Amino acid sequence: MVEGDFQRGDFAKYRGTWYEVLRVHNTSVTIPHLHLHISGGVVRAGDVRPGWTWTAPYAGLAGRMSEEEMRQHQESPVP
């Protein structure tokens, strides 16, 4: 994954959890930071204290969804 793959508001899968992308950089994205990791969930900016962020390098990202794709994913029934 590279810089052009992401824009603010997308979701990046990092260490098994989907995070809202707050900022996009040349080699990383800024995501909301949780001190207690919740593997497998979805973390949005409003879920953490303002200013609590983490830098996730592109090499550590395992997926990308747009905001619309994430909404559809969360609305789809679980088989």
pTM of the model: 0.86
Q: What is the pLDDT of residues 19-78, one digit of tens each?
A: 999 999 999 999 998 766 666 789 999 888 888 899 999 999 999 999 999 999 888 876
Contacts of 52 (CB under 8 A, 6+ apart): 32, 33, 34, 35
> Rounded to whole angstroms, what are the CA distances from 6 to 21, 27, 36, 76?
8, 11, 25, 23
